[in-house]
Structure 1
Amino acid sequence: MQYRFFRTCLAAALTAAMVFAPVAQANAAPARIKDIVDVEGVRENQLVGYGLVVGLDGTGDSLNNSPFTRQSLQSMLERLGVNTNGENVRTANVAAVMVTANLPAFATQGSRMDVAVSALGDSDSLQGGTLLVTPLVGADGEVYAIAQGPVAINGFKAQGDAASIISGVPTTGRISSGALIEREIGFELGSMHSLRLSLRNADLTTARRIAMVINDFIGVPTAVPEDPATVRLTLPANFNGNIVDLLTDIEQLMVQTDQSAKIVIDENSGIIVMGKDVRVSSVAVAQSNLTVSIAESPEVSQPNPFSMGQTEVVPNTDLNVTQTDMALTTVEESVTLQQLVDGLNALGLTPRDLIAILQAIKATGALQAEIEVL
């Protein structure tokens, strides 16, 4: 009886999905060019530095366990004229930290940017601390900014003799406008006559559509798709302005983006994300659920009166295995993946069951999509 019920439910669900579900459109929603491409040379640069945070309320590094903090503190004091060689420094108000920041594109000398501060040693919290002057260097080893200022954290830690509570991460924080830019990265965008637009999601169709939209707007062949991820833009000879003016004119143009059929699966969390253009060829699907239940109900065994026996606990295990089978059901050709999943969801299958079924359909060659497992 249960076997027939599952078979009837699956057939009805799949039939209803194929009849009433709307057909997915071939194209995705239109988007502005500025939202789907990056301009060559217009980018951030990562900076990093090592520094000290002082003024902590006893939550800093323990100098015995953090020799780098001790060495940094002694070196800083020596530069300020204080000699601590041979002395046993026991302060708990100092913490070694790593300072990171992203140097914005076209940032000018003298402007400011935010920095992130993260504890490097065994500090418990950076609350109330102040970052001392910290040079921030780039990948080339050159100093591009100097960071300093009070650290603002989002978390806190409260501790007693028998209990403690932590909210957020008190060993990380930020300094708003905490770094002063000392060196600029030269890039003369306005003097360029040709540059490349890099698609954030590489696709041949989208690259060609971007070039067509730009050329239709300008009226002359200005953009050329070079590959799925690149469109080359050339300044027209009769254009009234430079390349910055051209980018300003075209970045608001709308483009109908396209995407490949793809399924992303996270097996650890059971998450399935699918593209709407995925299709399934004719395939037959069956699924079986195996449930094992174990119940422990120990019993007490008492010895006979006036005997020399002892009271013992006798284990009693109740083991039950239940298997639920689903009938082999045919999925018609050209049904979309969403319609297939709707039909399977009608049977109450878990995401992990759906993952296993999708991978099995892919193995048969009936799933016209790429599966990416995270």
Structure 2
Amino acid sequence: MMRTVLLAALLTALAAPLAPAHGQVRIKDIADVEGVRENQLVGYGLVVGLNGTGDRLSSAVFTRQSLIGMLERLGVNTRDQEQRLDTKNVAAVMVTASLPGFARQGTRIDVQVAALGDATNLTGGTLLVTPLLGADGEVYAVAQGSVTTGAIAARGGAQTVTRGVPTAGRIANGAIVERETGFALNERREVRLSLRNPDLTTARRIAAAVNAFARGQVATPTDPGTVVVTPPAGRAADLIGFLTDIEQLRIQPDQVARVIIDEANGIIVMGANVRVSTVAIAQGNLTIRITETPQVSQPNPFGQGQTVVVPRTEIQVEDGRERRLGIVPGNVTLQDLVGSLNALGVGPREMIQILQAIKAAGALQAELEVI
């Protein structure tokens, strides 16, 4: 019996470190590996085959010039008949895509298509061959295919119904990668972890977790948003495997005490580290409510009077006398702060003004950001 109890206690002690602690997250969820990123691509093209919903060539000069240039490349001369071109089945579009990191030649990616001129609907159109350029001006992919918008547009003589955006669509697997980015991750002698929310404490915790896993000084935080990791000698040949292991490590990220206020929509978001010094709060509004309940005054059946409408007006004035001064004790937690504000019986709009007033008084120990 004693041996069984000791064995159970040993298994519990070994399993305890493996259980994720409360509030801990994986490193891969808060940091990115340098070089593992997407690249934005853009291109200009033509969509053909529209059912009379394309650009008007009389006003969309760029569409006319693009159409003439495309036909000339295909061996059709339309320069002499340029003024007679009046098709409405062609639209100039901008084509965008995101090139995934380490995408190889021949890989297909999705593209988005958006009308550039006065086209009203791209549904049913076909995008012609369109080169997609990167920020360096090089062609990284070529797009072509049928455009799907997912929108519904119906028009009659007196009414128009539109659901969705018919002038923007996408082509699933509509582009083929023609050029690679050329970044070789497995040849790097060191890699950098970029924090999505830069913080000194979080960067230090990441480095400590990586060093504890590698049993050596292999990670060093260089700034609030970067941790440099040098694989140990035994893992240098297997950099991908080493990164796979460390991105699964769990840490507890730190955060700045911050209060986010969206005045337009009446939204308040407060971080867990928000604290308030001792402060007294009172809130009251003057509200005047006017209610009109007119009544009809009708004379007796044999009387000589007339039926008239007699106005009845009721005026109520609320000056918030029942709302008294409330004290918020110092160094309260976020839950206590929310409870104290809710006890005042105010809505989100008034709560925004109270938080701004607490900040102005110097009692809100947090960063107040209004968006």
> What TM-score, normalized by structure 2, do the two folds share?
0.84
Q: 1:182 to 1:317 in 2, by over 3 A?
A: farther
Deviations 1:60-90 (CA, angstroms, capped at 9, x unpaired): 1112221111111111111111122234111
Aligned partner of residue 205 in structure 1, secondary structure: helix
Return the letter of the residue paired with 1:127. Answer: T
1:120 corresponds in structure 2 to: 116
Deviations 1:307-335 (CA, angstroms, capped at 9, x unpaired): xxxxxxxxx99987643243222111122
- Range 255-264 or range 330-339, more displaced: 330-339
Instruction: Provide the rounded CA distance (Å) in 1 between the counterparts of 2:235 and 2:137.
Output: 41
2:42 corresponds in structure 1 to: 48
Instruction: Provide the rounded CA distance (Å) in 1 between the counterparts of 2:45 and 2:38.
Output: 22
Instruction: Provide the rounded CA distance (Å) in 2 between the counterparts of 1:329 and 1:216.
Output: 49
1:83 corresponds in structure 2 to: 77
Return the letter of the residue paired with 2:205. Answer: R
> 1:191-230 to 2 correspondence within 5 Å?
191-230=187-226
Q: 1:248 to 1:324 in 2, by over 3 A?
A: same
1:304 corresponds in structure 2 to: none
Aligned partner of residue 69 in structure 2, secondary structure: helix
- Contact 1:28-1:258 within 8 A present in 2 as well: no
Q: 1:338 to 1:137 in 2, by over 3 A?
A: same
1:64 corresponds in structure 2 to: 58
Return the letter of the residue paired with 1:34. Answer: K
Deviations 1:173-202 (CA, angstroms, capped at 9, x unpaired): 111110111111111111111121011111
Poorly superposed stretches of 4+, deviation over 4 Å: 292-298, 316-322
1:342 corresponds in structure 2 to: 339
- Range 235-244 or range 179-188, more displaced: 235-244
Deviations 1:93-147 (CA, angstroms, capped at 9, x unpaired): 1111100001110011111111000111111111000000001101111111110
Deviations 1:12-71 (CA, angstroms, capped at 9, x unpaired): xxxxxxxxxxxxxxx971111111111111111101001011111111111222111111
Instruction: Provide the rounded CA distance (Å) in 1 between the counterparts of 2:106 and 2:213.
Output: 39
Aligned partner of residue 76 in structure 2, secondary structure: coil
User: Which one of the candidate residues 236, 255, 258 is aligned to 2:254?
Assistant: 258
Return the letter of the residue paired with 2:333. Answer: T
Return the letter of the residue paired with 1:186. Answer: G
Q: How many residues align?
A: 332
Aligned partner of residue 285 in structure 2, secondary structure: strand
Instruction: Provide the rounded CA distance (Å) in 1 between the counterparts of 2:354 and 2:213.
Output: 47
Aligned partner of residue 185 in structure 1, secondary structure: coil
Return the letter of the residue paired with 1:69. Answer: T
- Contact 1:125-1:156 within 8 A present in 2 as well: no
Instruction: Provide the rounded CA distance (Å) in 2 between the counterparts of 1:50 and 1:349.
Output: 53
Return the letter of the residue paired with 1:334. Answer: N
Q: 1:240 to 1:145 in 2, by over 3 A?
A: closer
Q: Give the CA deviation at 1:255.
A: 1.2
- Contact 2:328-2:340 within 8 A present in 1 as well: no
Q: Give the CA deviation at 1:293.
A: 4.9
Larger RCO, structure (CA 8 Å, separation 6 or more): 1
User: Which one of the candidate residues 320, 345, 362 is aligned to 1:324?
Assistant: 320
Q: 1:28 to 1:83 in 2, by over 3 A?
A: farther
- Range 249-258 or range 142-151, more displaced: 249-258
1:38 aligns with 2:38: no
> 1:295-334 to 2 correspondence within 5 Å?
322-325=318-321, 326-334=323-331
| Identity, % of aligned positions | 61
Q: Which runs of no fewer than 5 residues in structure 1 stay unpaired? A: 1-26, 299-315
- Contact 1:191-1:242 within 8 A present in 2 as well: no
Deviations 1:223-269 (CA, angstroms, capped at 9, x unpaired): 11112111110021233633222101211111111111111111100
- Range 334-343 or range 73-82, more displaced: 334-343
Q: Which runs of no fewer than 5 residues in structure 2 stay unpaired? A: 1-20, 295-311
1:11 corresponds in structure 2 to: none
2:14 corresponds in structure 1 to: none
- Range 276-285 or range 59-68, more displaced: 59-68
- Contact 1:128-1:150 within 8 A present in 2 as well: yes
Q: Give the CA deviation at 1:220.
A: 1.1
Instruction: Provide the rounded CA distance (Å) in 2 between the counterparts of 1:267 and 1:63.
Output: 45
Instruction: Provide the rounded CA distance (Å) in 1 between the counterparts of 2:258 and 2:174.
Output: 43
- Contact 1:28-1:257 within 8 A present in 2 as well: no
Task: Tell me the C-alpha RMSD between the 2 structures.
Answer: 2.2
2:305 corresponds in structure 1 to: none
- Contact 1:51-1:132 within 8 A present in 2 as well: yes
- Contact 1:341-1:354 within 8 A present in 2 as well: no
1:372 aligns with 2:366: no
Q: 1:256 to 1:294 in 2, by over 3 A?
A: same
Return the letter of the residue paired with 2:284. Answer: S
Instruction: Provide the rounded CA distance (Å) in 1 between the counterparts of 2:290 and 2:87.
Output: 57
- Contact 2:189-2:236 within 8 A present in 1 as well: no
1:133 corresponds in structure 2 to: 129
1:355 corresponds in structure 2 to: 352
1:244 corresponds in structure 2 to: 240
Q: Give the CA deviation at 1:215.
A: 0.9
